[in-house]
Amino acid sequence: MDELERLTVEAYKTTERKPLVLVLDNLRSGLNVGSIFRTADAFGVSKIYCCGITSTPPHREVLKSALGSTETVEWSYYVSTMEALMELRAGGYLIAGVEQVHGSTRLTDFHWDGTPLALVFGNEVTGISEEVLEECDRVLELPQAGTKHSLNVAVCAGVVVSRVVG
């Protein structure tokens, strides 16, 4: 680990984070949530908002796949995703859902200028709720060539965050 020059948890907590947060709208799988925590740690995401039925630390499945990143990534829980979005909007965040809908922007055409950004990821089966989609300033879509037109939400979050932060 010394050769990788990894920061300690304490040192990482003092690093500057990007004005980027992730909103998890009713994710079913704690394993997906933990994986998203690892992505957030890897790319310097400021915070994760766990909403509705989304599992939170110290849920066993979250901790299993997070591999300690729940200690480095700030997070909070909201009963309602709308409550989290209202707080973010009041804080000046652009709210972007990640979903396949008519009128979406292809992720490859989206260029983040560093403005505070909240990326919303939806339930593994039903996606982002209609109510939440209506509150989004824009919707980003990850272009896909396969027949399924679907990715695991944790994989999708990894691809999207990687692309957005460049």
What the block records as the tokens of 42 is 């890897």
Burial class (CB in 10 A: 0-12, 13-18, 19+), 88: buried
Q: Taking the model in full, what pTM does it have?
A: 0.94
pLDDT in tens, 93-136: 999 999 999 999 999 999 999 999 999 999 999 999 999 999 99
pLDDT in tens, 65-81: 999 999 999 999 999 99
Q: CATH: 2.40.10.120, 3.40.50.2300, 3.40.50.720, 3.40.1280.10. Which one for 7-165?
A: 3.40.1280.10
For the chain, which residues make up each domain, given as ranges?
7-165
